[in-house]
């Protein structure tokens, strides 16, 4: 039975219907509007004991952060969580008992790569948004014991930089802003992308959320991830996803300017013949 889990971006999200939550851990996750301390996670785990609870530390870790990172992982390991989502392979050397879910954003796009990590202690994978439905299902066919997670709604991540790309711009031109979230657009293009900064650096997201509501029956994964990060008024969309109400696909697309990303579209990489 596929389950729908919600990334918690605001307190109100706990009131929304779903099978479980992903909680971003303070200072060790990116692309969460709300983050949690270990003590918060303990309380939430007790309060919502009918829900699957996952935590996310979905970024790479600097050498200087290792001791804090390891200490937090060890504390989280004692809570009885359904999984710890990590972005850095250092965590695979810590002998954690909680199921480890690897989320390297744009890596692990093949059956053999995922098999490698499964053979080395990883229980689950957050699949990238850069592969097709056909590829996803083949990966699951080849890795039946690996728990697969796939984002089905939300703004896809495009890039992360340690640099403060927007602040640097404002400093350079001596401009001022109170804003936290911005958009970039190529000259004469109608397509914009979201750029924002946080404690870690700068991140670019697609301005067009992914909407895979009509692919829910086709996706052979274990968990669907619903992500309202930087979006508003999405409760009705979550309900539509839970009810598998594909009749609302167009309404959702109209409301959020969403699309299906790469689910039916392969990327290319050789653009010219060098012979």
Partner 1 sequence: MIKKPEILAPAGSLEKLKWAIDYGADAVYIGGENYSLRANAKNFTLDDIKQGVCYAHKKNKKVYVTVNIVFHDEDTKDLAAYLSQLQKIGVDAIIFSDPLVIDIAKKYSPKLSLHLSTQACVLNKDACQYYIDKGVERIVLARECSKEDIKDIIENKNVEIECFIHGAMCSNLSGRCVLSNYFTNRDANRGGCCQVCRFNFDLYDKNNNKISDESNFCIAPKDLSLVNYIKQMMDIGVCSFKLEGRMRSIYYVATIVNVYRHLIDMYSKNITDNAYINKAIKILYRCANRDVAPQFFDKTPGEKQQYYGQRKEESNQDFLGVVVGYDDSKKELLIQQRNFFKNGDKVMIFSPNTDDYFTTIKYVKDKDNNIIDAARHPNEIVRIPSDKKMPINSIMCVNFLD
Interface of this chain with partner 1, residues 205 to 244, rule: CB under 8 A: 206
What is the token pair recorded at 265? 């579209």
For residue 211, the minimal CB distance to partner 1 (Å) is: 16
What lies within 8 Å, CB to CB, of 26 at 6+ separation is 35, 36, 37
Task: Give the residue, chosen from 68, 74, 179, 236, that forms a contact with partner 1 under the rule CB under 8 A.
Answer: 179
**Bridge partner list, 73:** none
Task: Give the residue, chosen from 38, 158, 216, 242, that forms a contact with partner 1 under the rule CB under 8 A.
Answer: 158
Q: How many residues bind partner 1 (CB under 8 A)?
A: 77
Q: Which of residues 103-142 bind partner 1 (CB under 8 A)?
A: 104-113, 115-117, 119-120, 130-131, 135, 138-139, 142
Q: Does 16 bind partner 1 (CB under 8 A)?
A: no
Distance in angstroms (rounded) separating the CA atoms of residues 272 and 275: 9
For residue 51, the minimal CB distance to partner 1 (Å) is: 29
* Of 40-48, 76-84, 186-194, 249-257: span binding partner 1 (CB under 8 A): 186-194
The per-residue b/e assignment along 14-24, b for 16 or more CB within 10 angstroms, e otherwise, is eebebbbbbbb
Task: Give the residue, chosen from 46, 48, 162, 218, that forms a contact with partner 1 under the rule CB under 8 A.
Answer: 162
* Of 42-50, 77-85, 179-187, 243-251: span binding partner 1 (CB under 8 A): 179-187
- 37 burial (CB, 10 Å; 0-12 / 13-18 / 19+) is middle
The per-residue b/e assignment along 197-228, b for 16 or more CB within 10 angstroms, e otherwise, is bbebebbbbbbbbbbbbbbbeebbbebbbbbb
Q: Which of residues 72-91 bind partner 1 (CB under 8 A)?
A: 88-91
């Amino acid at each position: 039975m596929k389950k729908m889990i919600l990334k918690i971006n605001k307190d109100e999200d706990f009131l929304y219907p779903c099978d479980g939550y992903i909680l971003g851990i303070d200072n060790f996750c990116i692309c969460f509007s709300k983050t949690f301390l270990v003590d918060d996670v303990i309380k939430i785990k007790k309060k919502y004991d009918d829900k699957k609870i996952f935590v996310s530390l979905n970024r790479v870790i600097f050498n200087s952060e290792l001791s804090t990172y390891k200490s937090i992982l060890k504390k989280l390991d004692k809570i009885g969580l359904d999984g710890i989502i990590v972005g850095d392979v250092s965590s695979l050397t810590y002998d954690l008992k909680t199921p480890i879910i690897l989320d390297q954003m744009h890596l692990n796009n093949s059956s053999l790569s995922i098999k490698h990590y499964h053979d080395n202690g990883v229980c689950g994978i957050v699949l990238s948004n850069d592969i097709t439905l056909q590829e996803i299902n083949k990966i699951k066919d080849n890795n039946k014991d690996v728990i697969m997670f796939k984002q089905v709604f939300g703004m896809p991540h495009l890039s992360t930089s340690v640099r403060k790309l927007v602040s640097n711009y404002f400093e350079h031109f001596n401009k001022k802003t109170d804003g936290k979230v911005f958009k970039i657009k190529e000259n004469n293009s109608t397509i914009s992308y979201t750029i924002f900064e946080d404690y870690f650096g700068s991140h670019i997201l697609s301005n067009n959320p992914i909407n895979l509501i009509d692919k829910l029956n086709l996706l052979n994964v274990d968990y669907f991830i619903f992500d309202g990060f930087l979006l508003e008024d999405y409760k009705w969309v979550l309900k539509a996803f839970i009810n598998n109400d594909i009749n609302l696909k167009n309404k959702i697309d109209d409301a959020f300017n969403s699309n299906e990303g790469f689910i039916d579209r392969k990327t290319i990489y050789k653009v010219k013949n060098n012979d």
